[in-house]
C-alpha cells in the first residue's frame, strides 16, 4: 500500500472514531428536559408559588435547568376544564399534575397514556378514574381526601356536635360528580337522622353567598359544603 493511501485510510478512520467519541457528549448536551403539565381550576400565577414545584426545586429539580412546567388554568371557570384538559393532553407532557375532582373528571374524559398525578381528589372510583383503590386501573394516581361513603358519616358527626339542629342545607356544584354522589349519601343519612333536607345548586361564589344568606334566614343550623373536590 502506498504511503499516501495509508495516510488517507488512517485519517478517515481517525475522523470517524472522533465523531463516535464526541457524539455522546453532544447528545448529553442536548438532553431533553422533562415537561410537567399542570392543570389548575383557579388562576395560573407563578409556577414557583405552587407547593410541589417548590418542593421539587428543593431537591434539585429547577425550572429552566432540568425540568420545565406548562401551566393551564381555568381561572375558576369549570366549563373551561374540558377544553383545557384536551389541550394539555395534546401537548404531550411527560406527566400531568392536577388537583380537585373537577380537574380529575375533565382529564379522565380525555383518554391518553400520559401519567396523571392528582395531589388531592375525591373518590377515584366514583369519578371513574379507577376500578380499585388498591390497584389503579388507569393512568391516574395520587391522593384522595374522601369518598362518597364518608359523606353520611360526616353528617352524623355534625349532628352529634349540634344535637338541636333540625335542618340541613347542602350546597353542591352540579358539574362535579363527587358532590352528586356525596349528596345522595348525605340525603339518605339525613332521613335516618330525622333531619329536614334542603339541596341547593351553587356554581359561582355570588350565587353561593345568596344561598347562604337564604338558608340563614330559614334558620338552617348545618351546612355541608362540597363545591369542588
Do 35-144 and 149-226 fold alike per CATH? Answer: yes
Question: pLDDT tens digits, the chain, 229 residues: what are they?
Answer: 444 443 343 333 333 333 333 344 444 456 789 999 999 998 877 776 778 888 999 999 999 899 999 999 999 898 999 999 999 999 999 999 998 888 999 999 999 999 999 988 877 877 888 887 777 779 998 888 666 666 777 778 888 888 887 777 777 666 666 667 777 777 888 888 888 877 766 555 566 666 667 766 665 555 554 544 4
Strand 140-144 to strand 68-73: parallel, antiparallel, or no bridges (unpaired)?
unpaired
> pLDDT at position 215, please?
63
Task: Note the pLDDT of residue 212.
Answer: 65
Considering only CA atoms, which of 8, 79, 70, 78 is closest in space to residue 44?
70
pLDDT of residue 62: 92
Give CA–CA dist 36/67, Å, rounded: 8
What CATH number belongs to 35-144?
Answer: 3.40.50.2300
What pLDDT, on a 0 to 100 scale, did the predictor assign at position 224? 52
Whether residue 88 contacts residue 96, with contact meaning beta carbons closer than 8 Å, is answered with yes
Q: How far apart are CA 117 and CA 38, in angstroms?
A: 10
Contact 143, 121 (CB under 8 A): yes
Q: Could you tell me the residue ranges of all domains in the chain?
A: 1-31, 35-144, 149-226
The predicted model scores a pTM of: 0.59
- pLDDT, residue 51, reads 81
Q: Are 151 and 186 in contact (CB under 8 A)?
A: yes
- Interacting residues of 229 by C-beta distance below 8 A, sequence separation 6+: 100, 101, 120, 121, 122, 145, 146, 176, 178
- The cell for 133 is 383503590
pLDDT at 222: 52
Fold assignment, 149-226: Rossmann fold (3.40.50)
Collapsing DSSP states into helix, strand and coil, what is residue 74? coil
Q: What share of the chain is helix, strand, coil (3-state, %, to 5)?
A: 45, 20, 35
Amino acid at each position: 500500500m502506498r504511503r499516501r493511501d495509508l495516510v488517507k485510510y488512517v485519517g478517515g478512520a481517525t475522523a470517524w472514531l472522533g465523531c463516535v467519541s464526541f457524539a455522546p457528549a453532544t447528545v448529553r448536551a442536548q438532553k431533553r428536559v422533562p415537561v410537567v403539565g399542570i392543570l389548575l381550576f383557579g388562576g395560573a400565577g407563578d409556577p414557583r408559588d405552587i407547593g410541589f414545584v417548590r418542593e421539587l426545586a428543593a431537591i434539585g429539580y429547577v425550572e429552566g435547568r432540568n425540568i420545565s412546567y406548562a401551566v393551564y388554568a381555568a381561572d375558576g371557570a369549570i366549563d373551561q376544564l374540558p377544553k383545557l384538559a384536551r389541550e394539555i393532553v395534546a401537548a404531550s407532557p411527560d406527566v400531568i399534575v392536577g388537583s380537585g375532582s373537577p380537574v380529575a373528571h375533565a382529564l379522565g374524559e380525555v383518554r391518553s397514556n400520559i401519567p396523571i398525578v392528582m395531589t388531592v381528589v375525591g373518590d377515584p372510583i366514583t369519578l371513574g378514574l379507577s376500578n380499585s383503590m388498591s390497584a389503579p386501573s388507569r393512568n391516574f394516581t395520587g391522593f384522595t381526601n374522601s369518598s362518597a361513603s364518608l359523606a353520611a358519616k360526616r353528617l352524623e358527626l355534625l349532628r352529634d356536635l349540634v344535637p338541636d339542629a333540625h335542618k340541613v342545607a347542602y350546597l353542591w356544584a352540579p358539574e362535579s360528580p363527587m358532590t352528586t354522589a356525596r349528596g345522595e349519601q348525605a340525603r339518605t343519612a339525613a332521613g335516618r337522622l330525622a333531619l329536614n333536607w334542603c339541596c341547593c345548586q351553587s356554581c359561582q361564589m355570588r350565587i353561593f353567598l345568596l344561598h347562604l344568606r337564604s338558608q340563614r334566614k330559614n334558620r338552617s343550623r348545618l351546612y355541608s359544603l362540597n363545591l369542588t373536590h
